[in-house]
Amino acid sequence: MRIFLFLLTNAAVLLLISILFHVLGLGEYLGQRGVHLNLDSLLLVSAVMGMSGSFISLMLSKWMAKQFMGVFVIEQPSNATEQWLVETVARHARQAGIGMPEVGMFDSPEPNAFATGMSKNSALVAVSTGLLHHMGADEVEAVLGHEISHVANGDMVTMGLLQGVLNTFVYFFATIAGYLVDRVVFRSGDDERAGYGPAYYVTQMLAQILLSILATIIVMWFSRWREFRADAGGASLAGRGKMINALRALQRAHDHRDLPGEFAAFGIDGGMASGLQRLFMSHPPLEERIAALQNQR
């Protein structure tokens, strides 16, 4: 239902933008300058290209975690630690009103954890061996509550769809920019049947790079916002004191290192950054997250 409603909203946005282009006469404006584009078709093609990658990534997220991060899924607990992890996740899942996720572990000296999956009732929650080594039971319980909150909030789906929408507009506007430079500045052709000149490919590539950077800033802003919400969820499930102590334990850990690729945004610890790097942080600074919990009422 969450996916359906989000797609319906995106379709409405695309329709509104298409109507706006016609009202403003953007197609006619471009046509007068030798850029003969069917904007509706371009918008549809851009949406298919932009959304398909995000959906494929979302569908394969659990498989990728197991294959590339070496996540061992606990199907039958073989010791007390594994039994406790499964029971704690099950309790949090019941409290959050979601289906029981798969529970896994991956070998890493850094304390970290993540949640991923196509839906809130078919997710994977995994913790690193370093997390179990550096944290006590209460702190691990809070981390698991944080990850379960990500699942219950549908953050994996929302992040994937947001990235898909932004990819759509990156390709759409980069293509228009390529046409404008190629046809207006370099005049490589006077209608849509003319072949593309080198300026089209160069401009589109540069525009995609620039617009992708801007899109990444937006995605990372949303990622930081949802971390505060997941912290609040972890505090609700495990207790605010336990959640604060878990974040403080992360502060004490040295040699912060992000999870690889797309999993960095879903980890409990997003590392450290300063200056302009803050714009590309998937997680807020730990001191800000602790302060937010301390000020929570």
Q: Give residue-wise pLDDT tens across range 173-230.
A: 999 888 888 877 776 655 455 567 788 899 999 999 999 999 999 999 999 999 999 9
Question: Which of 125, 122, 144 is closest to 2 using CA atoms?
Answer: 122
Give the range among 4-18, 81-95, 99-113 with minimum mean pLDDT: 4-18
Domain membership of residue 53 as a residue range: 1-67+154-297
pLDDT value, residue 59: 87
Number of structural domains the chain divides into = 1
Give the position of tokens 């730990």.
Answer: 286
pLDDT value, residue 56: 87
E strand or H helix at 128: strand 122-128
Q: How far apart are CA 140 and CA 255, in angstroms?
A: 19
What tens digit of pLDDT does each residue of 64-74 get?
989 988 999 99
What tens digit of pLDDT does each residue of 231-277 get?
999 999 999 999 999 999 998 885 455 555 555 555 565 555 556 78
| Residue 143 belongs to some domain of the structure | no
| Residue 104 belongs to some domain of the structure | no
What tens digit of pLDDT does each residue of 115-163 get?
999 888 999 999 999 999 999 999 999 999 999 999 999 998 888 888 8
pLDDT value, residue 270: 54
CA 238 vs CA 110, 131, 139: distances in Å: 22, 17, 9
| Residue 95 belongs to some domain of the structure | no
Q: What is the CA radius of gyration of the chain?
A: 23
What pTM was estimated for this model as a whole?
0.82
Contacts of 1 (CB under 8 A, 6+ apart): none
Under 8 Å between Cβ of 149 and 234: yes
Residues catalogued as catalytic: 147
Question: Which of 104, 95, 135 is closest to 238 using CA atoms?
Answer: 95
pLDDT value, residue 7: 66
| Residue 200 belongs to some domain of the structure | yes
In three-state secondary structure terms, 280 is helix
Q: How far apart are CA 124 and CA 104, in angstroms?
A: 7
| Residue 38 belongs to some domain of the structure | yes
What phi-psi label fits residue 275: left (phi over 0), alpha (psi between -120 and 50 degrees) or beta? left
Asked whether residue 18 carries a pLDDT value surpassing 80, the answer given is: no
pLDDT value, residue 33: 64
Under 8 Å between Cβ of 114 and 282: no
Q: How far apart are CA 126 and CA 145, in angstroms?
A: 12
Give the position of tokens 């471009």.
Answer: 30
Under 8 Å between Cβ of 297 and 96: no
Asked whether residue 29 carries a pLDDT value surpassing 80, the answer given is: no
pLDDT value, residue 219: 93
Percentage helix, strand, coil for the chain under 3-state DSSP, each rounded to 5? 70, 5, 25
pLDDT value, residue 98: 96
| Residue 117 belongs to some domain of the structure | no
Mean pLDDT of the chain: 85
Task: Please give, one letter per residue, the 3-state secondary structure of 168-223.
Answer: HHHHHHHHHHHHHHHHHHCCCCCCCCCCCCHHHHHHHHHHHHHHHHHHHHHHHHHH
| Residue 261 belongs to some domain of the structure | yes
| Residue 77 belongs to some domain of the structure | no
pLDDT value, residue 293: 96
Q: How far apart are CA 180 and CA 268, in angstroms?
A: 44
